[in-house]
Each structure stands twice: as structure tokens, then as C-alpha cells.
């Protein structure tokens, strides 16, 4: 067998640490994914969503509170296909119910799976976000996942089923005003996410 038939070396956390700080890196099922920093539309949609959810759910301003909402947390989970290795994922936003995580960890990462994640899609990240990361979020028991596409102007809302599979997406578009799980206590005006 030639070199083409050789198994590709699995990336490790040391490979992730070697990535320059001006890039975003994730380790997913032994593959290192390196991306440029998000484009302005992507960053703006993520920032605005964090603001809209953070006040009522993290701070309790005009909402029920009870959550920790975090921008770009590093999540570390054991890789079941490679004992001793990790999956290191960085969702754009993640949230933990305070009843599950009363205090923030002292580490630079989170080992406890969040209750909710949000990935803001871009042409360079959409395949990894959908095809590689969503199954890991399901495997780890993340109950709710949102995929936001600032170009298509859509919000896809997923809920994890009892079989650890994602149910069908509920898709909201353009300037819809929505109450989406798990943050249905407030109405979210999606047009705020697309504003330039």
C-alpha cells in the first residue's frame, strides 16, 4: 500500500495550541479545523444575540434569569474514538442553566456540556458546524441548538430527542418575531441580528 492508503495522523490538543492567536481553531474527532476570525456580519449577529439573551436570561433584566450565557467558550469532551484524546469545540454562544452549573469553573475551558449552543454560520464554517459539531453536541447531551445564518437571514432551532438525535429544525426567517426554545420567555426580533 502506498502513502495515499496510510491513515492520516489524528490531530491532538498540542496541534490546537500551536495555532496562531489571530485564527480560530477547533479539534473535532481528531481533525484540526482552523478558520479566520469571523467576518463583521457573523460577529455582529453573534454579539447582538448574546446581548438580547444575556440581559433577560443571564442577568435577569426583564426576564427570568437562571442562565450563564458565554461568548465563544472552549468546550472539552473526551473523544470516544481515541481514548485519552479530546474534542475541543468553540460554539459562538453557549448557555448553562445555573441549576446545572451554579458557579463558573476556574479552568480556561468547560468540561460540562452546555444546555444550549448557538453556531453562527458562515461559508467557511457551515459544513463543520452542521456535519461535524452537531453530532458531538448531541452525543454530549446538549438539549438545544440554534444555527444562525446572517447571510440567508435564518434561525434554525433544534431540540435534542430522547434518542440523542436532533429533532426537525424549526426555521424562522428575516424579520420574524419569535419565541424559541429554550428562551421562549421573551420575544426575539430577528431583524436585530441582520442589521448593518
- Mean pLDDT computed over every residue of the chain: 93
pLDDT digits (tens, 9 = 90+) for 37-91: 888 899 999 999 999 999 999 999 999 999 999 999 999 999 999 999 999 999 9
Alpha-carbon distance of 157 to 145, in angstroms, equals 6
Residue with cell string 473526551 = 78
pLDDT digits (tens, 9 = 90+) for 120-155: 999 999 999 999 999 999 999 999 999 999 999 999
Residue 3: is it exposed, middle or buried by C-beta count within 10 angstroms (0-12/13-18/19+)? exposed
Cβ atoms 152, 174 nearer than 8 A = no
Superfamily (CATH H level) for 37-72+89-194 = tt1808, chain A (3.90.1570.10)
Alpha-carbon distance of 31 to 43, in angstroms, equals 24
DSSP 93: E
pLDDT for 196 equals 82
pLDDT band of 5, cuts 50, 70, 90: very low
Cβ atoms 171, 180 nearer than 8 A = no
CA 13 to chain CA centroid, nearest Å: 19
Cβ atoms 187, 175 nearer than 8 A = no
Q: List all residues 6 or more positions away from 86 whose beta carbon is below 8 Å from its beta carbon.
A: 13, 27, 76, 77, 78, 79
Alpha-carbon distance of 175 to 161, in angstroms, equals 28
To the nearest whole percent, how much of the chain has pLDDT over 70?
A: 96
pLDDT band of 6, cuts 50, 70, 90: very low
Q: Widest CA span of the chain, in angstroms?
A: 64
Q: Which grid cell is 136?
A: 458531538
Amino acid at each position: 500500500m502506498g502513502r495515499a492508503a496510510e491513515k492520516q495522523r489524528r490531530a491532538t490538543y498540542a496541534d490546537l495550541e500551536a495555532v496562531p492567536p489571530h485564527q480560530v481553531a477547533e479539534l473535532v474527532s481528531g481533525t484540526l479545523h482552523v478558520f479566520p476570525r469571523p467576518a463583521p456580519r457573523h460577529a455582529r449577529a453573534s454579539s447582538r444575540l448574546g446581548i438580547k439573551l444575556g440581559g433577560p436570561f443571564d442577568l435577569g433584566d426583564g426576564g427570568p434569569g437562571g442562565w450563564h450565557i458565554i461568548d465563544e467558550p472552549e468546550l472539552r469532551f473526551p473523544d470516544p474514538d481515541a481514548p485519552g484524546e479530546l474534542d475541543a469545540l468553540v460554539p459562538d454562544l453557549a448557555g448553562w442553566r445555573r441549576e446545572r452549573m451554579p458557579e463558573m469553573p476556574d479552568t480556561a475551558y468547560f468540561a460540562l456540556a452546555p444546555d444550549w449552543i448557538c453556531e453562527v454560520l458562515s461559508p467557511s464554517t457551515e459544513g463543520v458546524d452542521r456535519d461535524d459539531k452537531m453530532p458531538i453536541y448531541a452525543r454530549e447531551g446538549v438539549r438545544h441548538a440554534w444555527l444562525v445564518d446572517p447571510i440567508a437571514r435564518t434561525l434554525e432551532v433544534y431540540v435534542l430527542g430522547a434518542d440523542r438525535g436532533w429533532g426537525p429544525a424549526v426555521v424562522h426567517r428575516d424579520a420574524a418575531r419569535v419565541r424559541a426554545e429554550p428562551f421562549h420567555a421573551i420575544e426575539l426580533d430577528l431583524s436585530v441580528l441582520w442589521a448593518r
